[in-house]
Structure 1
Amino acid sequence: MLGRAASWLLRGGCGPWRCPGSKSCSPGWRGAATLSVTPQRSLADEPVCIRAAGLSPHQEVTLRAQVLTDSEQMFDSSAQYRADDRGLLDVSRSPSLGGDYLGVVPMGLFWTLSPASMEMPYQKLRPCTNLTGRPMRVDLSLHSGHTQAGMIPGQILAKQVVERWYSKPGVRWIRLREGKIRGSLFLPPGNGPFPGVIDLFGDEGGLTEFRACLLANRGFAAFALPYFGFEDLPMILTDFHLEYFEEAANYLWKHPKVKGPGIGVIGSSKGADLALSMITFIPKVKASVCISGCNANTLTDLYYKDMHLSSVTCNIDKIIRLDSGVLDMSGSLSNPNENQKSIIPLEKAEGHILFVVGEDDKIWNSKLFAEEAIKRLNAHGKDNYELLSYPGAGHHIEPPCSPYCFALIDRFLGHPVLSGGEPIKHCYAQEDSWQKIQEFLHLHLH
């Protein structure tokens, strides 16, 4: 499974430990245009350096990025630049003058990848299915002139291929089918033991592995845990029983590669309130990261032993259809304070909690929900929390390899739903929060 990843190391390929700005990124000579990317092979959550040389002084050019997915979908992005008086272009210093973003945004081409014009809109760019054996290939091209949207690009001056890996050599991928639990376990290279983390996503269902795989590169034994819509799990959202998540926590905690005394959990959207319930009711959970979550149980009732949390509901009459056809759901979730039996009793949690929210979240008001949770903790004399709040960020805050999505097709409604956020501010929030999430988990699981 790791053959290709190992082979480029043996060939002397530049890996994630080779930082941008190394000698291989130095500009070429005047003459034929060249395009360089350093490192050319890197982990998907790491920055790269893009430079061009051999251009005419102040020459106008367009940079394009293209990705063809496993399902043959094309994603692309572009930005317009002007070379300096030496005919050089450094994307980390030069501002984009047009295209999919403006200003100095070193990773802008990667952050603004979206479905190409011939593809169905509002789709999310996801990595290849074989995370540990194959990279995502990004084709970069340098064109003459400033290409406007919908126009044929100018002459190609130079090309470069970039490989974005989700796993470095030595990461182990284990598909789990133990008792009632399903999912994928990713183990870092080495003997360990490692801090253990359960990874939960939202109501899209199925198994989402890329974040857990990236966490394994950062020293965590990460368990991507689906809870519906996968194999023999329920295919739709039904009442949940926390015993399923407790079984997963016990499995990870007992694993010989996992260090104690407890484990962590990271959850997004619906997965975030499950992460809060886990740290509240399951003693082995010592750290919980709640991304764009709610302080109450959402979407379906939750049971655990003799405990029952009802769910806050979504009022479809409050969903707004925008002129573009995109649905705005931001005002549709009922106020948790009107259903006290749905609110998670976080004061019972003995571990530490990190709330990560975007202040322009259009799925629901995750900042308000985090503030309500903190208010409850403070009322009970608790200070076991941190809050990361990002202006201009929307709902889907993921690792920095994930491009911004204005709206996504909802699997239940069948229509695009507004996510919120401004593209570049949202992506900077992803970059910043990803580092701080890792720091939080390492701190409280060591």
Structure 2
Amino acid sequence: MTRIDETDRHVAAPANPTGSGILVLAGSSGRIESERADLLARHGVRAHAIRWFGGQGQRPVPHEVPLELFVDEVALLRDSCDRVAILGTSFGAEAALLTATRTPVDAVIAIAPTSVVWPGILDGSWSSHWTEAGAALPWVPFVEDWTAPTDPPEFRGLYAESLDRHPLEAEAAAIPVERITGELLLVVGEDDRVWPSGRFADEIVGRRSSAGLPTDVLRHSRAGHRVPFPGEAIASGGHRMARGGSPEADAELGALAWDAVLALTLKATRPS
């Protein structure tokens, strides 16, 4: 198994377990979502929040991170839980969706999702965010002549233009969401300025619909990239960039998402 150092895992064990477990993944901040895990545990869900880059023995940045890290964490949750879900945000949503195509889970919640695999950079070298069995997954290259039109920079145009100008690479890098056997919930702020998560959600829905599979989508026209759940502190830090939304709109979407996350996590049944 791909072991995570205990300093890079926060286990929130519920006082009154329901049999449900969830893997909680942050995005490019690299933090351990311990507050979110504790919130879920108070509702009877065993939650594992992990650091997936920048930790002990891990890749220093989101660059060629092994998917086995997440698959093995799901297996650990299966040892003690009847139902298992994955909750990820942004790059963490990318990981959650990919993981669910490799191992059965009962539910996936992808906040500010992507429909394709993107690259990271390390020591001046671009490569996929992810590997499997040591090989980099196909990824969509960024256009090289793009410049941010705003300060602080918003990057949604970079992602959209990269997709449009690299259609063959985009098809090869598409996350095969039709392989996800559990329920799928996408949470989208349409004013996301980091990347076009609304467009990505549409592509995910289209791909699953072609395979006869349903997808639940929660959207808010004025919310941005960050979606706080009720009672959570507003996230800070990370790279300097425009994220869109407003505190009020983000909180409104977070409240809707929280209700859906609880309902989905607590009622999910193991795929056959």
Q: TM-score, length-normalised on structure 2? A: 0.85
Equivalent of 2:10 in 181, 184, 187: 184
| 1:427 positional shift | 1.5
- Which residue does the alignment assign to 1:166? none
For 1:327, what is the secondary structure of its paired residue? coil
Give the strand-richer structure, 1 or 2.
1
Q: 1: distance between equivalents of 2:45 and 2:234?
A: 26
| Structure 2 CA distance for aligned equivalents of residues 196 and 409 of structure 1 | 28
> Any conservation in 2 of the 1:206–1:230 contact (CA below 8 Å)?
no
Matched, 1:295 2:84: no
User: 1:10 matched to which residue of 2?
Assistant: none
Task: Indicate the larger mover: 309-318 or 239-248.
Answer: 309-318
CA distance in 1, matches of 2:31, 2:11: 15
Instruction: List per-residue Cα deviations over 1:362-383 (Å, max 9, x = no partner).
Output: 0011011011011011111212
Structure 1 vs Structure 2 CA RMSD: 2.3
Cα drift, residue 337 of structure 1? 4.1
Whichever residue aligns with residue 216 of structure 1, its letter is: A
Aligned-pair CA distance for 1:327: 1.1
Could you say which structure has the higher helix fraction? 2
TM-score with structure 1 length normalisation?
Answer: 0.53
Q: Which residue matches 1:330?
A: 156
CA contact (8 A) 1:267 1:274 kept: yes
Taking a change above 3 Å as real, the CA distance of residues 362 and 402 of structure 1, as seen in their structure-2 partners, is farther
| Amino acid of the structure 2 residue aligned with 1:390 | H
Q: Which residue of 1 aligns with 2:204?
A: 373
The residue number in structure 2 matching 1:264 is: 85
Report the residue type matching 2:4 in the other structure.
I
Unaligned runs of 5+ in 2: 120-127
Where structure 1 has 5 or more consecutive residues not aligned to the other structure, the ranges are 1-177
| Paired residue secondary structure (1:181) | coil
Out of 352, 357, 362, which is 2:188 matched to? 357
What are the superposed Cα offsets for residues 240-284 of structure 1, whole Å, 9 maximum, x if unpaired? Answer: 2221111111111113xx2x2x4110000000011111111112x
**Which one of the candidate residues 207, 212, 215 is aligned to 2:37?**
212
* Partner Cα separation in structure 2 for residue 445 and residue 219 of structure 1: 16
What does the per-residue CA deviation read over 1:372-421, in whole Å, with 9 as the maximum and x for residues that have no partner? 011011111212x201011100001121234667xx6544xxxx200001
Question: After the TM superposition, which residues 11-26 of structure 1 pair with which residues of structure 2 at under 5 Å, given as runs?
Answer: none
Match of 2:124 in 1: none
After superposition, residues 333-348 of structure 1 pair within 5 angstroms as 333=159, 334-335=162-163, 337-339=167-169, 340-348=171-179
Counterpart of 2:266 in structure 1 is 442
What is the total number of aligned residue pairs between the two structures?
Answer: 254
SS of corresponding position for 1:289 = strand
> What CA distance in whole angstroms lies between the structure 1 residues aligned with 2:144 and 2:26?
23
Identity %: 25
Q: SS at 1:202's partner residue?
A: coil
Q: Deviations over 1:87-120 (max 9, x none)?
A: xxxxxxxxxxxxxxxxxxxxxxxxxxxxxxxxxx
- Structure 1 250/265 Cα, relative in aligned 2: closer, same or farther at 3 Å? same
Residue 202 of structure 1 contacts residue 268 of structure 1 at CA under 8 Å; is this kept in 2? Answer: yes
With over 3 angstroms needed to count, the CA separation of the structure-2 counterparts of 1:230 and 1:393, relative to structure 1, is same
